[in-house]
Amino acid sequence: MASYPTPDTPSTRVDPDESTASYLERLSSTIVTALNDRDFAFASAPAQLFLTHISPHWRGEIDTFAQKREITSFDQQRAMWKQRAEENPGVHFEIVHLWSYVNEEVGLANVYMNMEVTGVGGDGVKLHAMNELKWKRTDGETTLTESIDVDEMLRDAAGRAVVLHAPLASAARFAATLPVLVRPMHDIR
């Protein structure tokens, strides 16, 4: 099992008045910065802070048209991101919408990142992707317990849907929150 750095202090919040939602959104967006910087070792200070919050029981899921697979370690997830960047050297992630739902009473939170991905699939093509990060607070420690990556659809330079990547279940899960038309694969002709 991988080990990650331990925070030096019980609280890693820069601003003690920062809300839980803002803090978790900031931590979650660190992933995008690391990917765009090609920092797959997560060596930067913000990425190292993010790693201190990875649960030893973390699991991930990639849910796309091309593949649906379970990931059992964050190191495996980083290796997959690195491979994708090597196969697509121009890949770039841009967060379009970032929001969260936090339940302080039970210690659970979900952070959602709706992103445009360019540099994959040809010139002028944008992949719209959704990431859901599930956070849990136990005994005062907040950890990332699960990540779900869903590629929703490709768009051409004019903004027209080209191909939907997500299966029906994932499309239905995120359809209400996306500012794009989402239809199941079998409906696109």
- Each residue's pLDDT tens digit, 136-154: 999 889 999 999 887 655 4
Which CATH number goes with the domain that contains 76?
3.10.450.50
Taking the model in full, what pTM does it have?
0.73
Total residues found in the chain within this entry = 189
Q: What is the pLDDT of residue 66?
A: 56
Six-digit token string for 2: 């991988």
Residue 121 covered by a domain:
yes
Residue 7 covered by a domain:
no
Residue 150 covered by a domain:
yes
**pLDDT band (50, 70, 90) for residue 189:** very low
Q: E strands, the chain, where? A: 54-63, 68-71, 92-103, 108-118, 126-138, 141-155, 161-164
Residue 6 covered by a domain:
no
Domain that residue 75 falls in: 20-187
